[in-house]
Structure 1
Amino acid sequence: MTKRFRIYTDGGARGNPGPAGAGAVIQIFQEKTKTFFLAKELKRFLGQATNNQAEYQALIMGLEAAVEMGAAEVECLLDSELLVKQMNREYRVKDSDLAPLFVRVWNLGTKLGRVSFQHIRREYNKEADRLVNEAIDEGLGIRGRRS
């Protein structure tokens, strides 16, 4: 049976560049109920980074977890149109700081059976966004700032 995953990722920086964080929500398809269920939430403080670097780091974090968890088919859902278009080869990666991150995502994709990248509106990515803000707050030593 194919292990189908859905990964919502988000990255952000307060300032651009600025203190940055990455978040990923991993869901696994349950054949019995024909629904996706929450399997894992990940967050990481990145230090100083740009928004786009943080978006890539979030995608890498999610894909690394999917590989470790034995995923065979992964649908990546991002609110970064730039990343989706770069991963779908609609845009070239012109920023030399993003190129190695693109390659890392591409290489992770080769370890999985099938990977797709889809753009979603920000309001459908609230959980990953919450993880980004938690990671930044924790990295900066801010407690209880956001609900």
Structure 2
Amino acid sequence: MLADCPEEVCEDHSLDDRISTVEEDTWTMFFDGAVNLSGSGTGAVLISPNGQHYPVAAKLMFPCTNNIAEYEACILGLQATIEMEVSKPKVFGDSTLIILQTVGKWKTRDAKLVPYHDYLEELVGKFQDVSFEYLPKIHNQFADALATLSSMLQVTEGLKVEPLKIEVLTRQAHCMTILKNPTGNPGIMTS
């Protein structure tokens, strides 16, 4: 069983099995919300069938709870998915509340969350097929990082940053310098 995973969410097969069973024409979406002393933000990442990542994030400029930030993140990701004309997304999030309310295992009782749940259901109706699955926060790091980043930034309205490029570096930057031999003597090199 997965750590921090409610019994009604977890299944006998592993997380890797659930994520790797995504069909060829199915996109995946990961979402997360963040509320901290610096503010609130959302993050979602859409992953195409060929592995291309499309991150989206938003700074929330209104007071909200963590559950509202989670709903905002899921909605942001679904809206981006609709804009990209994806018909069959598989949605993953680390919010037990959002996942279980969306799949109908829990009722939405908090009056502040009812409009979010209703709007999310409206968005769900725009897809040919969509599924929602819980996954532990440790497996939701990209969306979590986007949400945390957007919550902490002090941004002005209308700011748009794209694209977000993240590279994997296997060498230290200084290792890429070309060594010069000013004297022509072997063994005396300077950078």
- Same fold by TM (over 0.5)? yes
RMSD: 1.7
1:107 deviates by 0.6
Corresponding position of 1:50: 65
Q: Distance in 2 between matches of 1:139 and 1:107?
A: 32
**1:63-109 deviations in whole A, cap 9, x for unaligned?**
00111101110111000011110001000000111111111111111
Deviation at 1:28, TM superposition (A): 1.0
In structure 2, the residue corresponding to 1:7 is in which secondary structure? strand
State the Cα distance separating 1:139 from its structure 2 match: 3.2
Q: Could you tell me which residue of structure 1 aligns to residue 147 of structure 2?
A: 132
Q: Counterpart of 2:174?
A: none
> Counterpart of 2:74 in 1: which secondary structure?
helix
- Larger helix proportion of the pair: 1
In structure 1, the partner of 2:108 is 93
Correspondence for 2:36 among 3, 6, 14: 14
Residue 5 (structure 1) aligned with residue 27 (structure 2): yes
Aligned residues: 132
Instruction: Show the 5 A alignment for 1:18-37.
Output: 19-30=39-50, 37=51
Q: What is the identity, as a one-letter code, of the residue corresponding to 1:45?
A: K
Deviations, residues 19-67 of structure 1 (Å, cap 9, x unaligned): 211000100113xxxxxx1331011111221000000000000000111
AA matched with 2:29 = I
Choose which of 53, 70, 75 in structure 2 pairs with 1:60.
75
- Residues 1:117 and 2:132 aligned together: yes
The two structures have a TM-score, normalised by structure 2, of: 0.65
- Tell me if structure 2 keeps the 8 A contact 1:25–1:38: no
Check conservation: 2:39, 2:152, Cα contact below 8 A. no
TM-score normalised according to structure 1 size: 0.84
Identity %: 27
- The 2-side partners of 1:104 and 1:38 are apart by 28
Q: Which residue is 1:39 aligned to?
A: 53
Higher RCO structure (Cα 8 Å, ≥6 apart): 1
> Structure 1, unaligned stretches of length 5 or more?
31-36, 142-147
Q: Name stretches of at least 5 consecutive residues in structure 2 with no aligned partner.
A: 1-23, 157-191
